[in-house]
Amino acid sequence: ELDQANTTLKTIGASEGSKQRARGRISEARAALDLLKGQVDDVLQGDFYTYRYFASEGFLPGYSFPRLPLSAFIPAERRTRSGGEGDFIQRPRFMAISEFGPGAFIYHEGARYEVNRVSLPARDDGTGVHITEIKRCSACGYLHESTEPDLCQHCGAPFALESTMANLMRLLSVKTRRRDRISADEEERQRAGHEIVTTIRFVPHGVRAGQLTSTITEGGHELGTMTYGDTALIRRMNVGLRRRKDKDVRGYVLDTVDGRWCKEADLAKNVHGEAPRYQRVIPHVEDHRNALLLHLDPSIGTDQRMAAMYALKRGIEAVYQLEGSELAVEALPSNTGDHAWSRLLFFEAAEGGAGVLRRLATENGQINQVARKALEILHFDPDTGADLHRAPHAIEDCAQACYDCLLSYSNQWDHQHLDRHRVVDLLQRLAASSVAVGAGGEDRAAQLERLTKACDSELEKQFLVLLEQHGFRLPDDAQKIVDGYYVRPDFAYHTDGMDVAIFIDGPIHDTAHQSQKDEQARMKLEDEAGWLVLRFHHDNAGTNWLNTIAEHGGVFGEAKADA
């Protein structure tokens, strides 16, 4: 930015107005660099004081290394005796996309500032602004970074015309200007806030699939599915003000030369035949989080889904002792429209994650605990379903919802629709349900069918039957060669950063020659590839196999209660 402003000053044909704006940008850029380098007299001020900065970024014993927040530069009205020329305000990415959105107002030290400029993400070749294009499924909200597919990779629905989202620009740091006076119309539109659209994509981890799918059943009926992914890609996009005139128009007009947010009328200033200086862009941020996508049976109504999302959030926080800020929830693809509340997205907002969503999706009995706790929080007896009317400490009855159960500051937009009575039946069914775990986006039945077809012997099929009967986790792969080692396990697990090879040894493995080959394969996998090798001998089928499985609960999980 400093270089661009200097170039403008050196341009002979530049207008006096352009040069004046360039001088202002130079002053702001130098002030920002001074803050970043700590080259100010009063180093204790601002977020870039060394110790304060390292503390905020987690560079302390016992802390993780969080993602960089987004910064808003607040210019000083006049140079102070300590040399300060401005300050930075920081927000987490998912919060900054709305709080630092185009034209947003920031109140700082008794003054009001407007976000009017943004740092421009440059292309790899250094020319122009880097913008991208995606497809977002309008039925489930799934993200496709390529615009070629015609069907959603997650739910299989055909893409609608509005699924393609063009001119996406990653939001970096923003800059502000002081605004002492604003019109009543401006204030009203800004008070309504920005429309934020969320999308998710499950990312594979090498040989390990990026997602696993669990089926929730109760009384022989399917209640829904849970799709979980470690470090799933979540992207949040600011598509415009909630109260904009035309809802079909998405994005904001940006001056791609100096990064200034502009008005709609500025689009007419583009010169025909030249690269457009003024473009409509959609600012976005993204991060990788542990995420769970809950798809309830379509027969469950929207009001039930809405109440269920907030009830389960409260239940998860209570069971796993999480703070409210550690777990976030959203409706996908949106909370309005034809497919509103089709999926319920839960993701761990805390840096690094707490690992609770994986437990919910993979361990039998976890969803039952959460549902029972949610019933308690909603003032119902979890055993009988009787209405207790209020929280233990409350002095008034709760009619539909209160701040002790479903209501919170963050879900104010949905308050009028929330009713605790509508979700009682669903929570009771979840409390009595069981979870069958699949892998790689398949449900358990499809996974078992695929593995069975790949088996080379009846003994291998017997092993799968044993796992299925007792509700243990099924393998991820069958009869797949380990790259680079020319070893083919009968089955393989890829979970929690650990690779496990399963060999089912029939009578042929009792020979001396085959035993020697087996030992060589074990040494290759364990000593060179870092795998865990487990062998199941044909003489030990049944009880001894179950004992071996029980000793490795981290691989096979826990048996179902009624096995």
Mean pLDDT throughout 72-81? 71
Taking the C-alpha atoms of residue 261 and residue 252, their distance in angstroms, rounded to an integer, is 7
pLDDT greater than 60 at residue 65: no
- 407 and 455 in a single domain? The answer is no
Mean pLDDT of 472-489: 87
Range of the domain at 507: 445-556
pLDDT in tens, 278-296: 999 999 999 888 999 999 9
**392-404: burial string, b at 16+ Cβ within 10 Å, e else:** eeeeeebebbbeb
Residues 349 and 472 in one domain: no
- Kindly give the interhelix angle for 543-551 and 458-470, rounded to the nearest 10 degrees: 60
Residue 141 inside a domain? The answer is no
Confidence band of 144 (pLDDT split at 50, 70, 90): very high
Flag whether pLDDT at 529 surpasses 70.
Answer: yes
Residue after which a domain boundary falls, among 192, 219, 241: 192
Q: Are residues 409 and 304 in the same domain?
A: yes
> What is the pLDDT averaged over residues 246-260?
91
**Res. 176: pLDDT tops 70:** yes
Q: 207 vs 314, which has greater pLDDT? A: 314
Q: Which of 58-67, 298-307, 318-327, 506-515 has the lowest mean pLDDT?
A: 58-67
Same domain, 65 and 104: yes
Domain boundary among 165, 192, 219: 192
Q: Does residue 256 fall inside a structural domain? A: no
At 372 the pLDDT is: 97
pLDDT of residue 66: 52
CA distance 117 to 278: 13
Question: Under 8 Å CB-to-CB from 213, ≥6 apart: which residues?
Answer: 225, 226, 227, 228, 438, 439, 440, 441, 442, 443
Summarised one tens digit per residue, pLDDT across range 102-139 is 999 998 888 889 999 998 887 655 556 888 899 999 99
Specify the higher pLDDT residue, 12 or 414.
414
Does residue 454 share a domain with residue 380? Answer: no
Residues 417 and 532 both lie in one domain: no
Residue 70 lies in a domain: yes
pLDDT confidence tier of residue 44, bands split at 50, 70 and 90: very low
Q: Verify that 351 and 489 share a domain, yes or no.
A: no
Residues 383 and 459 in one domain: no
pLDDT in tens, 17-34: 677 667 766 766 676 666
**Which of 239-253, 264-278, 363-377, 437-451 is the least confident region?**
437-451
SS (H, E, C) 325-381: HHEEEEEECCCCCCCCCCEEEEEECCCCCCCHHHHHHHCCCHHHHHHHHHHHHCCEC
346 assigned to some structural domain: yes
Instruction: DSSP for 550-563, please give it.
Output: HHTHHHH-PPPTT-
Share of the chain above pLDDT 70, in %: 84
Residue 494 belongs to domain with CATH number: 3.40.960
pLDDT per residue over 387-415, tens digit each?
A: 999 999 999 999 999 999 999 998 998 99
pLDDT of residue 379: 97
Which of 436, 470, 502 lies at the terminal end of a domain, its last residue? 436
Instruction: Please indicate, yes or no, if residue 336 is contained in any of the structural domains.
Output: yes
What pLDDT is recorded for position 539?
A: 83
Same domain membership, residue 399 and residue 299:
yes
Counting the structural domains of the chain, the total is 3
DSSP H or E stretch at residue 471: none
pLDDT confidence tier of residue 37, bands split at 50, 70 and 90 = low
Domain contains 94: yes
47-66 mean pLDDT: 47
Please check whether residue 249 lies inside any domain of the structure: no
431 and 457 in one domain? no
**Angstrom distances, CA of residue 241 to CA of 162, 248, 478:** 18, 12, 51
Highest mean pLDDT pick, 228-242, 267-281, 341-355: 228-242
Residue 494 located in a structural domain? yes
* pTM, entire model: 0.75
426 shares a domain with 472: no
423 C-beta neighbours (distance < 10 Å), count: 28
Residues 317 and 404 in one domain: yes
Tell me phi and psi for residue 162, to 5 degrees.
-80, 0
